[in-house]
Structure 1
Amino acid sequence: MKLQRLEEINRKIKYDFDKLKAEHPERLQKRMNLSFSTWVFGLEELEESVERLARFQVPYIELGGNYGGKDIGYQADLAGTKAILEKYGIKCSGICGFFSDSNTLSTNNNFVRQTAREYIIEEVKFCKEVGGEYMLVVPGTVGRSEPYDTSDYARSVSTLRSVADVFVEYGVKCAIEPINSAEVAMCSTIKSAQQYIADVGHPGVQHINGDIFHMLCGERHISEAILAAGERLVNLHIEDTNRLPLGNGMMDVDTIIRALYVMGYNRDGRFVTGEPLGAGRNSYAIMYGQHSAQAKDKQVADTLYFQEREEELLK
């Protein structure tokens, strides 16, 4: 019987992975850099989040970009933030930038776009201070699936370009994240993110933050999209098909892992990051939630399923 298209793509990726494993086993020695985006824990002190990652031996943390001014956010106590990370031996992978109606790049409100510029500048500076590699940037407004008008895309491109020098100055990668079209009005696929990067046309804007849930919604095949992102991919958010922690749905984890190894993603400066947000279109609401310690522990523990499958494939 003829294979489904899905099966054909899976088989090709498995063939390439098995060939790599047989011919270049040395390229499979290093494991993926696992991180976790702790803004999904909701309202809790940073030290509680960092202690949890240390307890589950997750070496990297993706910090939520909670800058709200000089007195609001992690950067308000830079020394304290760095001290907590050092205390538990956790390194910062990068910053998850938040782009809502109050600081979006695409709005027709000039005051808000000015705020977006200031937000990016301050978060990039903070990222550099805490040793992060990237800052995630969303071209549109998260939680808004309809454009403000017909010029959203042009404004977003222009506004990001106007502030892009800061990424070069501080050596932080700008990672454009494609988000599914039910949550953002533009840039919902890897191909559209690549076009957006080309339209910005700046050396400081060259990378992509992937997310396998958003790929599930917008791509023909998740692992095919990962391979298409190629060298631009600097961080990959992982969760299952129901947006619960990995291993609680129908996500084809093995093929994703194979694709990552085939593209040589298991190297310094590249991260796989748990971001299990749960169901719902208002994803930012989770950062204000209050959850039990047991529930938050389970989010991290279940995400380690990635490492379990990684070892199964590599042994």
Structure 2
Amino acid sequence: MHRLGIHSFVWTGGQTQEGLEMALEKSAEHGYRAIEFAYLRPERFDLDRLARKAQALDVEIGVTMGLPLDKDVSSEDRETVARGASMLADAVRAVRDIGGTKLGGILYSAHTKYNRLPTAEGWKNSVATIAQTGEIAKDAGIDLVLEVVNRFETNLLNTTAQGMKFIDDTGSDHVRLHLDTFHMNIEEANPAAAIRLAGDRLGYFHIGESNRGYLGDGVIDFDLIFDALLDIGYARDVVFESFSTAIVDEGLSLACAIWRDTWTKNDPLAAHARQFIETKYAEAQRRRATNARP
């Protein structure tokens, strides 16, 4: 059985220690066993205190992030790539220090809408940096997962097939894919087939609706998604992600184009998401059992 998690931006913009601790408490209160934080700058937060609180609540921590343009590891500029590699190494250490288990997101490029195609040299620079970061993460006991996102948030990895080639190029057995239903709905011809293609290389999974709001209020066929997750025996984290201007981190909101309220109250949203995911998962198990009968 997967571990069900929730993104901290359902609860807080993530600017204060108190907000992050509240997010941990609310996640546990709603029955979530994992929480996803955006990158936590060690100088701004008491990571030890957060780690102790998460442990006491039995909530596992994952961290996701995107690189800024001046630290884009898919750049052709060596200094820019070096700055990005340093930021990724620091992020792995921060995840370790907070007692987290994984670092994911757009780790292979800047989190932005590019105005150019990726280059062969940029791809090689990114591959080399992620291979190096994968070794640092392995030594720290941290999973490294690369989020495949839509064309408006990166120019490098928009499909699962591209992600698989990228991982092959790293030569690392420690780097896995991080897929997200919101992004797959934009880029994949067949999201369920993409999940099956990823197979045991799928290391982290985001559940999000096509409009970023309540699950079931958009166009994603979650029956097909959960059937595919069962088919590959996926047993890692499944994390609900939803963004609204009601609770806002300015940087992420600009990068993800969050311009409106997809919801205004977070408690009912979180309760609904957990029930929706558990129901869909149970329905998929029943379909599987029925189809297996002679």
1:42 aligns with 2:13: yes
Query: Is 1:241 aligned to 2:210, yes or no?
Result: yes
1-structure distance, mates of 2:251, 2:214: 15
Whether the 8 Å CA contact 2:24–2:54 is kept in 1: the answer is yes
Cα deviation for residue 311 of structure 1 reads: 2.9
- Measure how far apart 1:258 and its partner are: 1.5
8 Å CA contact 1:242, 1:278 repeated in 2 = no
Q: Evaluate the alpha carbon distance shift between residue 82 and residue 132 of structure 1 in structure 2; reply closer, same or farther with a 3 A threshold.
A: closer
C-alpha distance in structure 1 between counterparts of 2:255 and 2:54, whole Å: 20
Candidates 115, 128, 148, aligned match of 2:96 = 128
Letter in 1 for 2:83: T
1:78 equivalent among 22, 36, 47: 47
Q: Which residue of structure 1 lines up, in the alignment, with residue 73 of structure 2?
A: 105
CA distance in 2, matches of 1:201, 1:193: 13
> In 1, Cα distance between the equivalents of 2:243 and 2:169?
30
| Structure 2 CA distance for partners of 1:283 and 1:255, relative to 1, 3 Å | farther
Alpha-carbon offset, residue 137 of structure 1:
4.4
* Deviation (angstroms), 1:202: 2.8
1:306 is matched with: 277
Pairwise CA distance, 1:102: 3.9
Report what 1:64 is aligned to.
38
The structure-2 alpha-carbon separation of the partners of 1:84 and 1:147, relative to structure 1 and needing over 3 Å to count, comes to: farther
Please report the TM-score for the alignment, with normalisation by the length of structure 1.
Answer: 0.77
Shift of 1:283: 7.7
Out of 109, 114, 129, which is 1:145 matched to?
Answer: 114
What residue ranges of structure 1 are gaps of 5+ in the alignment?
Answer: 1-30
The CA distance in 2 between the partners of 1:32 and 1:165, in whole Å, is 26
| Equivalence map 1:221-240=2 (5 Å) | 221-240=190-209
Partner of 2:241: 275
1:253-292 counterparts in 2 under 5 A?
253-265=222-234, 267=235, 270-277=236-243, 284-285=252-253
Residue 148 of structure 2: SS of its match in structure 1? coil
Residue 314 (structure 1) shift:
3.8
> For the structure 1 residues 62 and 43, does the alpha-carbon distance in structure 2 shift closer, same or farther, using more than 3 Å as the test?
closer
Give deviations 1:246-299, integer Å, cap 9, x for gaps.
22212211221121112111x3xx1111112359xx98127999x9x9623244
Q: Which runs of 5+ in 2 are unaligned?
A: 287-294
1: CA distance between counterparts of 2:222 and 2:251? Answer: 23
Corresponding position of 1:184: 154
Aligned to 1:7: none
Deviation at 1:186, TM superposition (A): 1.1
What amino acid is the match of 2:35?
Answer: I
Equivalent residue, structure 2, for 1:53: 27
Structure 1 counterpart of 2:292 = none
Of the structure 1 ranges 174-183 and 119-128, higher mean CA displacement relative to structure 2 is found in 119-128
How far has the Cα of 1:237 moved from its partner? 0.6
**SS of residue matched to 1:98:** strand
Q: Distance in 2 between matches of 1:137 and 1:105?
A: 14
Partner Cα separation in structure 2 for residue 283 and residue 194 of structure 1: 29
Quick one: percent identity of the two aligned structures? 22
1:109-168 deviations in Å (ceiling 9; x for gaps): 444323322222122223234443321142222122334873332221233234332022
| Deviation for aligned residue 1:242 | 1.5
3-state secondary structure, aligned to 2:265: helix
- Count of matched residue positions in the alignment of Structure 1 and Structure 2: 273
**Equivalent AA in structure 1 for residue 188 of structure 2:** E
Q: 1:117 matched to which residue of 2?
A: 85
Shift of 1:34: 0.6
What is the Cα-based RMSD across aligned positions, in Å? 2.9
Q: How far off its partner does 1:235 sit? A: 0.8
- What's the CA shift string for 1:72-114, capped at 9, x where partnerless? 3x4xx2211112213433222x221222224321234444323
1:309: how far off? Answer: 2.1
Contact 1:134–1:234 (8 Å) recurs in 2: no
